[in-house]
Amino acid sequence: MNNQQTPNPYFKIPLWVAWLGLLALVLAGLVRGTVALGMYTPENPDTLNLILSISAAVTVLGFAAYAMLNPEAILRFLGGRQARYGSNTLIMTLAFIGIIVAANMLAINAPKDQLVDLSEDKSNTLAPETIAVLKSLPEKLSATGFFSAQYPADEAEKLLSNMQANSDGKFSYRFIDPVSNPLDAKNAGVTGDGKIALKMGDRSEIADYADETELLRAINRLLNPEERTVYFITGHGERSIDASGATGLSRAKETLENKNYTVKSLNLLADNKVPADARVVIIVGPTKPLTATEVGLLNKYVQGGGSLIVMEDPVPLTDFGEASDPLADSLARVWGVTLRNDFVLDDTSTTPQNAIGANYSSSHPITSAMTTATIFPLARSIAVQPSGELLSISELVQTSPESNSWGETDFSALEADSAMVKMDPTTDTPGPVTLVAAVEDLVNQGRIVVFGNSLFISDDGFDAYGNGDLFVASVDWGAGDDAPVDITITPPTERTFLPPGGLKLVAILLGSACIIPLLVLGAGVATWAARKRRG
């Protein structure tokens, strides 16, 4: 008598449904993985979660229905040798996945102050000086990173998160997109991208880039406030800090004040001295030449350790006429920086009379962190002498080596179609031409920055590209804010891979392509022969 139960003729339908559900589950899981990696952003994440849940439910219910409609097949599978071997593999796989999931959950949910740096060279650990400063903060310190979508914030996120974890709850941070929220950036005194604004109480400071040393400098300025006074020279038709628009410097003044500088005007003709509290003296676009007496006062100030920033436009844009320029003469004779009597044409720009500062010195503190080009409308070029034992002279900003730029000496070209003007190799200076230079007195630590243009920091140009960043970085350098801080940096561990060659490479290729596969094949043949002998 045959007691075997006849299987339900529709038993395969739930099996097919289950396999389809599993396929949908795998595909949805892969999409979810790309979302987690930031490779894809769905319009509606909830829909993806719903698909995952439905797929999982269909898979489970499909297999359950199949087991109910065809139990004999399930029993035969569970009783076979392959099922026994497969069950061992399944258990080990599930155990491995469980361990990985549990470890990641513990890491994600672990308190931030209990994170452990397991890297060999402790690359994720802050310097002990930074940790000590964070733990001794007298009050709450907040950081706001201004990073747009075009400026990666991964390193900044990593650094700020590490600082928060080591601050005993005294440090917090957030990010704002300055492109989407320009008013927030302006209110914080931030120009450009990639800056971090620090605030403690009613004081604020700005770190120009996401670097532990730069942030520690800014924190130290917050903890140890001091008067930093910047003077703008007046009396020669210079651009005014009290005016706005094309001739005004109100944006420059506002930005410096947001960085806790005290900004004042200085009339050297009237005062006949540089104030003792002057950290930086700035001359922006004089239309009449300074006197020899004023230039002597400025040289004495720099030679005593002071800092001077000079911005002079091409002569036709001033009222100099044929008069001498004692300031330009002194810069060339005493400090090795010559303001050429020309103006720069640059075909990189849509307006050739706007020189593009595209090539920065990576070794100088002013320009080492600059990544955005600067625009200098109607600039003159600069020549520098080689550095010596007493002076360190640097070319900070140049036009691009790939552009067709030069210093044009025929000023009638200012009134002509720039596209028709050609460089004269006998009188003009071929590019790339220097637009900004810096000098440091190695004996007395005096500093000078020379620009062949002043229009770039007027209110109309200050927030364009890297203009404001370059100006503020120049003031910071002049004020000594680039001074090194005592910080212990752990050098990264260098690892060098030397590719094998000769006999080693042949041995590796033979081993991977021939020997190992033959050993596996031989083991299989031996196992088959042994089973064959046993019948």
Please give the share of the chain, as a percent, with pLDDT higher than 70.
80
Q: Give the pLDDT band of residue 275 (cuts 50, 70, 90).
A: very high
CATH 3.30.70.1050 fits 227-478, yes or no: no
Please tell me the distance from the alpha carbon of residue 377 to that of residue 374, in angstroms, as a whole number: 10
Q: Give the pLDDT band of residue 355 (cuts 50, 70, 90).
A: very high
331 against 149, higher pLDDT:
331
- The letter for the amino acid at 268 is L
Among the listed residues 338, 475, 459, the one whose alpha carbon sits nearest the alpha carbon of residue 393: 338
Q: What is the pLDDT of residue 1?
A: 47
66-75, 92-101, 120-129: segment of lowest average pLDDT: 92-101
The DSSP 8-state label assigned to residue 360 in this structure reads E
* 274: number of Cβ within 10 Å: 21
Residues 6+ apart with CB under 8 A from 381: 340, 342, 344, 407, 429, 433, 434, 435, 452
DSSP string, 414-436: GGS-GGG----TTTSEESS-EEE
Overall average pLDDT of the 424-440 stretch: 92
Element (H, E) at 375: strand 374-377
Overall average pLDDT of the 18-38 stretch: 75
Q: Comparing 128-219 with 227-478, is the CATH topology the same?
A: no
Among the listed residues 429, 377, 437, the one whose alpha carbon sits nearest the alpha carbon of residue 406: 429
- Please state the domain extents for the chain: 12-112, 128-219, 227-478
Q: What is the pLDDT of residue 227?
A: 83
Residues 6+ apart with CB under 8 A from 90: none
177 against 487, higher pLDDT:
177
Q: What is the pLDDT of residue 309?
A: 97
pLDDT digits (tens, 9 = 90+) for 239-260: 999 998 888 999 999 888 888 8
The DSSP 8-state label assigned to residue 118 in this structure reads -
502-524: b or e for each residue (b if 16 or more CB lie within 10 Å)?
eeeeeeeeeeeeeeeeeeeeeee
Overall average pLDDT of the 146-163 stretch: 87
CATH of 128-219, one of 2.40.110.10, 3.10.105.10, 3.40.30.10, 3.90.25.10: 3.40.30.10
- The letter for the amino acid at 188 is A
Overall average pLDDT of the 480-500 stretch: 63
Please tell me the distance from the alpha carbon of residue 218 to that of residue 63, in angstroms, as a whole number: 63
| Whether 242 contacts 250, CB under 8 Å | yes
Q: What is the pLDDT of residue 521?
A: 78
Pairing between β-strand 278-284 and β-strand 307-311 as defined by DSSP bridges: parallel
pLDDT at 336 over 70: yes
Question: Any idea which residue has 């489970």 for tokens?
Answer: 60
pLDDT at 8 over 80: no
pLDDT at 79 over 80: no
Q: Which of 26-30, 254-258, 490-494, 530-534 has the highest mean pLDDT?
A: 254-258
38-47, 78-87, 388-397: segment of lowest average pLDDT: 78-87
Q: Give the pLDDT band of residue 497 (cuts 50, 70, 90).
A: low
Among the listed residues 460, 470, 468, 455, the one whose alpha carbon sits nearest the alpha carbon of residue 252: 468
Q: Give the pLDDT band of residue 366 (cuts 50, 70, 90).
A: very high
Overall average pLDDT of the 260-267 stretch: 92
Query: What pTM, to 2 d.p., does this model score?
Result: 0.65
387-422: b or e for each residue (b if 16 or more CB lie within 10 Å)?
eeeebebbbbbbbbeebebbbbbeeebbeeebeebe
Question: Any idea which residue has 């002043």 for tokens?
Answer: 454
Q: Give the pLDDT band of residue 63 (cuts 50, 70, 90).
A: confident
Return phi, psi of residue 383, to 5°.
Answer: -115, 145
Among the listed residues 382, 378, 403, the one whose alpha carbon sits nearest the alpha carbon of residue 394: 382
Please tell me the distance from the alpha carbon of residue 118 to that of residue 121, in angstroms, as a whole number: 9
